[in-house]
Amino acid sequence: MIGMSEFFKSMLKEENRLKMIFLLGISGIILIFISGLGTDKNADVVKTAECAVNSSEYIREMELKLKDVLQGIDGVGNAQVMLTVDQSAEYIFASEDKTNSDRYQDFDGEHTKKVQTRTTTENNYILVDDVNGNTKPLIKTQIEPVIKGVVVVCQGAESPVVCVRITDALTTVLGIGADKVCIVPAKSER
């Protein structure tokens, strides 16, 4: 029986190099095939319906969070918050691009007469099954709506100190300028 080191020495000889390259190539193809068998298709299913929060839900959630934050500020009583947005949520879908390039040359004797290059690009969205079994494009990125401004109606807004506190909190949380914040006192209860 030939030992492993003798086997490798015989394979390194020039006449056996092609056999060795062929065996390594076949081994690589087999490994790639085997690695694909272990994946579970259901593990790759993306719950696109759960990932995509529509704009009105996002705004409603933000308004509730802001209301809780503002009512925690010293001097602020009951508060109502309304956000305005510049645009709705935007989705960027995952896609795969395939590009093909063809090059044509016309010869006139010994010299190249004309060279043409034609490039075609095909862009396809990556589709996945959602939790209901519907096929939808895979969401790569969700860009939340851009907040244009905020109106706060609250008890305690008569005080300039309270208004400054509210304005500071909102500009910090929302990343907007103070000119985009409107604070008005709530109706007094009679």
pLDDT in tens, 3-24: 666 666 665 665 666 666 666 6
Return the pLDDT at 144.
Answer: 77
Please name the helix (run of DSSP H) or strand (run of DSSP E) that holds residue 59, with its range, or none.
Answer: helix 55-71
Please name the helix (run of DSSP H) or strand (run of DSSP E) that holds residue 66, with its range, or none.
Answer: helix 55-71
Interval 105-164: pLDDT, tens: 776 667 666 777 888 888 888 888 888 888 888 878 877 778 899 999 999 999 999 999
Closest CA to 125 of 105, 109, 140, 142: 140
Angle (CA) 51 86 156, round 5°: 100
Return the pLDDT at 35.
Answer: 65
Beta strands (DSSP E) in 34-94 are 79-85, 90-93
Return the pLDDT at 70.
Answer: 93
Give me the chain's average pLDDT, please: 78
